[in-house]
Structures are given as structure tokens and as C-alpha cells.
Amino acid sequence: MPYSIGLEAAATAFLSAGFATQFTLAVVVFLTILLVTSTFQRDAPDVPTSLPCYSIFSIIPFFRRRYDFLNWGFHATGQSIFQFQLLRNTVVVVSGESARQAFFTARGLDLTEGFKILSGAIPMVRGVTSDLQTKRIALIHRRLAAVQRNTPLNDLIPIILEDSRRMMETWGASGTFDPFDKIYELVFQTTVRSLSCAEISDDAALVSRLKTLYDRLDTGTTPATVLLPWLPTPAMIKKVWATKEIYDIVTQAIKSREESGISRNDSLQHLLDSGDEKLVIVGFIMGLIIAGARATGTTASWVITFLGGHPEWRVKAASEVKSLIESYSQSSMAADSLSSQLAAIPLEVWETKVPVLDAIIKETTRVAQPHTAMRRNLGPPLYIDNKIIPTGAYVVYPFSDVHLDPELYPDPWRFNPGRPEPKNTTFGYVGWGGGKTLCLGTRLAKIELKVITAMFVLGFEHRIVDKLGNTATSLPTPNWNDILMCRPQNGCSIKYARSSIPL
């Protein structure tokens, strides 16, 4: 009897408490259940070894210090494959050549589902950028491929160069900047230009506002907003409002185009002319702008940073671009603007006759792209290195496993575009994906990187400097725990001065 009276009193007290107290108690009970159940779990022989810690302690490290956390996991388990829980989601981490091959070729491992749950840093609008039908996803992929065909991409080059010239002019004749601000800002502009419409990309203030909103999505992406998207935390509320404003900007641009009746040569026009439904058009623009700008912006920022600390490669890049201008431009470098001379270089040349730029970009993506590939097993259970991956489980593969492997890349943190290719290994480089899953925007991204780099190395002299403005004695190191920008922990400053060549 005393027990029932006590329970009744406790229930009455709980029901009479405010919502905040009830919610807090519910969360505590939920987490307690997770802790207790995880304590009694035992791994079968074919099940990946679990991390030696309660599952709740994996959540923040996975999202905040992912590179360190995954390395710790391999060390703590002593295994090349291990697993942990993100609330009720099983996550299996794999490494090694055979696991890498299986990861990139297994049919049941789905990229979209893996990215949606474990990343969360894109604007999520049901039916627009999330919960898409397979046919709608395939259609967006086809449209992205169409944007990168020869004619549209060739037409884009002079426009990207003009955007670059305009933004570089605002920097002045000399000064100092953080490349992870200025270069990223430039790439955001060229990506908006390439994947949206003139109504947005011609309006500098609107592009700036759009960048601010996407940055707000980044900073608002927390473990809670990813794993508990229904929880109305302040961060989630900010993300919802930012997403709504992005959506409004895109839909207003579409409306303006339709009402004007003016046809333009851009991605929006291609989507409208194809007769695509509005949800596909909005999803294409909202999702692909940030997906492209983040990856390409990070690479571009590090390309300029590395070249500022390795003058020998800066000279090689500048010499290569000068040779192209001499071969394809109709006027001397002093007689015409740099942007117009670079615009005269054909697309085919940018793609096939710039081995120095290719090597620089490839080495940069190897050492300064902190990707962790994410998949979800939608098919039947599969085995990777004799360990089972259940249906519904998430699988992640850290690119550091191959790109920072000293056996494949001696002194792996050193920037060296001249290093030989790793031999006798499967998928020894996965900077643009591998197997059945390759980055669908690779062609556009490489063109952006090449023309922006060419414009910068001929239009400016630059070097890495310390806080006093002197040439830095130690160069910035990529921070792989920064999963979005890979910014160096101690920051980075570039001192620049305009060359004699007019932009």
C-alpha cells in the first residue's frame, strides 16, 4: 500500500509540474533507458566491436570532433571496423583497402539516406530537399549533368571570370585577408551564378544575404538538430527561419522570371524550359548551391593558402596559365584585361591541358577535404571484412583512412602536388568519390577552381603572413575536425598585392 501511495503522489506531482519540468524528466528517463540497455549489450562474433563507452558519450564527439573521435575509436577497439550508437541509430565505421572497396561498390548502401541523417547541414524542406521520391532525385541529378554539358559550361566560363574580376576589384591594390572568408565568398558567388539564376546572382546584396542564411544553417547544425529534429531548440528554430527565408528568395526569383517572360541563359531557364515542376526547381537550387559552395569553397581557400606558402608551386601555376594565354589570346597580356584573356581559353583546354593546376587541386582535396562518406544500408544485411552490416544501419568511411595513410602518401600532411600516385591499391584516391558514387558536380567544381586560381595567381602576388604581417615561418595545417571548412585552428592571413596585369 505505501508503494502505491508513493507512486500515486509521484504521478500527481509529475502531472502538476510545468511543461519544462515534464520534458526534462522525460529526457532523463529516456537517456537512462539508453544507458541501461547499452550496458547489457554483447557483440556476436560477426558483429563489429562496440566502442568501450556508453552510447550517449559518442554523440557530441561525432559531430564536434569527428576526425579525433573516429581515430580514437580505431585505437580504443584495436579493430579496423567498429560500431557505436547515435541514440537508436547503429553506425558502423570501416577502414582499410578491402572495406573501402566494399563501401564504394555495395549496391545496398544509399548515399542520400546516410547524408540526411548524419549530416543535417542542408536546408530540409519536405518534398523539396528531403523525403524526395527516387524519380525526383534522379531528375535533379540529370539536370545537374545537363548544366555541365559542353555548351552550358563553356558559356559559364567568361561569366565566372567576370564575377571573379568584379569581386577581386573590391579588394583594392593591396591588403591582408583570411582566404576562408574572401575566397569562400568569391566561390559562393560563382556557385550561385552557376546553379541558380541572374535574378539572384546579379544582386550582390541578395547573394550576401543568401550566404548569411546558409552560414546560419551551418552554425545551427547541432547534435540535437540532427538527431532530434522535432525538438524546438533555439538552434532548430534559427535553422527553420533561415530555411524559410532561403526558400522565399528562391521562389521569388522563379516568380520574377516567369512574370517577366524574359529568357536567360542560366540554370533556372534550363529547368523551366525542361518543364520541371516547381518543387524540383526549388530543390535543385536550394540543395545544390550549398553542397557545391561548401566543398568547392573549402578547396579553393586551401589552394590559395597552399600556394601562398609554397611559392615554387605558385610560380609553376602562373607559368602554365601564361602559356595558355599566349597560345589562345588574340592580344598581349598588357593590352587586354586578364579576365577577357582567360575567357578566350576553350573549355577543352581547361580540362585537358593544365597538368599543374590539376595536380594542385588533387593534392589539395587529398590533404584538406575532411570528408567522411556516409551511407545507409537499405538492402539486405551485408558483410564487410567478415563483419555484418544490418539492414538500416549507417556506415561511414573517413577519407583520412586513405588520404592520410603514410604507406600510400609518405609525410601525408605535407602539400606536395608532385608526389607519385599510390600504386597497387584499390581506390587510392577518393577526393571526388569512388565506385558507384562519384561527385555529380565534379566537372563544374574543377572549372571554378581552375579559373579562379588562374585569375588569382596572375592578378596578384601573395604570401602567408603571421599576426605581425611578416612572412609566416610555419604554415597553416588543415583542421579535419572542422567538417565544413577545414579551417586551420590558429587562423590564416594572406598578404596580397595586385600585379601589373589589369584584372
User: Domains in the chain and their CATH numbers?
Assistant: 134-498 (1.10.630.10)
Return the C-alpha cell found at 19: 511543461
Q: Count other Cβ atoms within 10 Å, centred on residue 35.
A: 13
Residue 171 DSSP SS3 = coil
Biggest CA-to-CA distance, the chain: 99
| Helices 150-169/179-195 angle, 10° precision | 140
Assess contact for 229 and 158: CB atoms under 8 A.
Answer: no
- Comparison of pLDDT for 229 and 204, the residue scoring more: 204
Question: How many CA atoms lie within 13 Å of 334's alpha carbon, on the beta-carbon side?
Answer: 1
Position of cell 561498390? Answer: 105
Residue-level pLDDT at 133? 59
Please report, as a single letter, which amino acid is at residue 153: L
CA-nearest of 482, 398, 488 to 63 is 482
Residue-level pLDDT at 332? 56
Assess contact for 195 and 207: CB atoms under 8 A.
Answer: no
- Tell me: pLDDT of 292 over 90: no
Position of cell 545544390? Answer: 288
The phi and psi torsions of 383 (rounded to 5 degrees) equal: -115, 135
Would you call 18 exposed, middle or buried from its count of C-beta atoms within 10 A (0-12, 13-18, 19+)?
exposed
Q: Where are the beta strands (DSSP E) in 23-152?
A: 49-50, 81-86, 89-94, 109-110
Residue-level pLDDT at 232? 73
Q: For the chain, give the mean pLDDT.
A: 86
Q: Count other Cβ atoms within 10 Å, centred on residue 6.
A: 10
Residue-level pLDDT at 126? 55
Distance of CA 354 to the CA centre of its chain: 25
- Establish whether 53 is an annotated binding residue: no
For the stretch 312-354, pLDDT in tens is 999 999 999 999 999 998 765 556 899 999 999 999 999 999 9
Please report, as a single letter, which amino acid is at residue 98: S
Q: What distance in Å separates the CA atoms of residue 11 and residue 27, rounded to the nearest whole number? A: 16
Return the C-alpha cell found at 189: 558567388
- Kindly report the CA angle at 17 between 11 and 22, in degrees rounded to 5? 80
Percent of the chain at pLDDT exceeding 70: 84
pTM of the complete model = 0.87
Secondary structure tally for the chain: helices H, strands E: 21, 13
- Tell me: pLDDT of 2 over 50: no
For the stretch 38-56, pLDDT in tens is 444 455 678 999 998 877 8
Position of cell 577518393? Answer: 430
CB-based contacts of 300: which residues, under 8 Å, 6+ apart?
A: 183, 184, 186, 187, 448, 449, 452, 453
CA-nearest of 484, 401, 370, 396 to 114 is 396
Assess contact for 47 and 388: CB atoms under 8 A.
Answer: yes
Give the DSSP letter of residue 48. P
pLDDT category of residue 435 using cuts at 50, 70 and 90: confident
